[in-house]
Structure 1
């Protein structure tokens, strides 16, 4: 059984229910029952949105788009507050995406991005667009760990007050991680082979985040080291040309969200130093948030 139970502290619950295979599981795959609540500027939400598009779920599982920058004083989204309060009595923390909600009960199913991604692929995806092929789980996890290594390294490098030695040690990790991914693309079109997989979605979102958000905090020499992997960035551009990827980019929203979150002045208009001209692939307008009801 897939029980519905928040598993974190009461002040900020996390919901980890899963979509099962049949009615005995409580939550099971039914067209039009569930809804995703996503902000296009959030990396986890972007990964879910790309996966949703690649699986062709537009008519099966609807999406509510939230503002790029949280609009509640506590850093959450006003539109999500009713869902959080219905799902957790006297919820006091921020109401944040991603959220998978159940239209039958009016409650939250999950806020855990990895679980949502697996359930979209396994419970709603079909054989013709299988993003998690049988036997590929370990390789997908390997690519995921490499992506986590990229984000962890740049976060340590840009940490306010970090001394030079810590910063340099963190930056020294990046070429090895990026190089491992570059090597994968030397003999294949995608990181697992000839077909798109969940690993490609994860890596592409990580590269977008690295360039749009984190590279703006690095010096020119560090950016050159990051950019010195031509196959990797050519791959990022190639995926950005696909509607399921590039059409979901909110370049301005992602930079505004990050600067609002970290409280730094940053350079929200940085374009000359970007490795990829992401705006060339993005739509002229980001997905419109739905009005708060």
Structure 2
């Protein structure tokens, strides 16, 4: 997919991670890609956790890199998880911050490798996959990164600004225009293509799908009904989301109840009329309902 970065907006900033270790292809990197050494800790109610869960499933890593699923709503102050506290304390002397997910840990040392979700997914892609295709095919890095920026700036951040109750009406209108323009660009591309990059399923499709899940289950709750109807008016885009929801790697990890509880647990915004206008019936299109026991 040929996408250029949004020129009028700043690069999206994720929360600065506490740990940025990387898994390399050999021991010189500090951590090398060996089966049964690493473990993922995540909540699929969190966008980063959902991305990692989908990528992990697509890469077929269930046997070589187990996953510990965490509750949808963090159980410690500051958004942390009590289950992750020992890992944080073993990894940083006198650590006093929140024990946040997602985490990639090293079972050999009992310490954290990384808390930076984009790095984690790229490193998991280096594991042996028994012939499974890469989520980051050779030569597609810049295109996938462009999709990530587009989703972060043109959808995620724009939707947040468009739904802010304390924002100036002109600011909300401009943010909605940016959101609709971004959706329109992707719509025009998907009208003639099945996937976003390299004519196959890649990390770009994971990024877009999780972003659309958040748009429909979280951000629309703070938009008016007219805006949500305009957002829904992109048939190729939402057909893409519906098609991927039917894929077991995507649908099996979609915890709608958990997403709602997580949102209601920390959201300070006001609910708007768009909350009553669901764009996609996600439950209907998923083929494998997630098990609540692991959440």
TM superposition score normalised by structure 1: 0.89
How does 1:21-40 map onto structure 2 within 5 Å?
21-40=25-44
How does 1:7-156 map onto structure 2 within 5 Å?
14-125=18-129, 127-148=131-152, 149-156=154-161
Q: 1:278 maps to which residue?
A: 282
Of 184, 199, 203, 2:204 maps to 199
Distance in 1, Cα, partners of 2:58 & 2:173: 38
Q: CA RMSD in A?
A: 1.8
2:22–2:123 CA contact under 8 A, matched in 1: yes
For the residue of structure 2 that corresponds to 1:288, the secondary structure is helix
Aligned residue-pair number: 276
Distance in 2, Cα, partners of 1:74 & 1:160: 24
Of 251, 261, 273, 1:246 maps to 251
1:248–1:287 CA contact under 8 A, matched in 2: no
Q: What 5-or-longer segments of structure 1 have no aligned partner?
A: 1-11
2:254–2:290 CA contact under 8 A, matched in 1: no
For the residue of structure 2 that corresponds to 1:226, the secondary structure is helix
2:140–2:198 CA contact under 8 A, matched in 1: no
Distance in 2, Cα, partners of 1:104 & 1:204: 34
By how many angstroms is 1:265 displaced? 6.7
2:254–2:289 CA contact under 8 A, matched in 1: no
Given the superposition, is the C-alpha separation of residues 264 and 157 from structure 1 closer, same or farther in structure 2, using an over 3 Å criterion?
closer
For the residue of structure 1 that corresponds to 2:60, the secondary structure is coil
Distance in 2, Cα, partners of 1:128 & 1:119: 15
Distance in 2, Cα, partners of 1:258 & 1:48: 19
Q: What 5-or-longer segments of structure 2 have no aligned partner?
A: 1-15
Distance in 1, Cα, partners of 2:164 & 2:95: 31
For the residue of structure 1 that corresponds to 2:167, the secondary structure is coil
For the residue of structure 1 that corresponds to 2:52, the secondary structure is helix
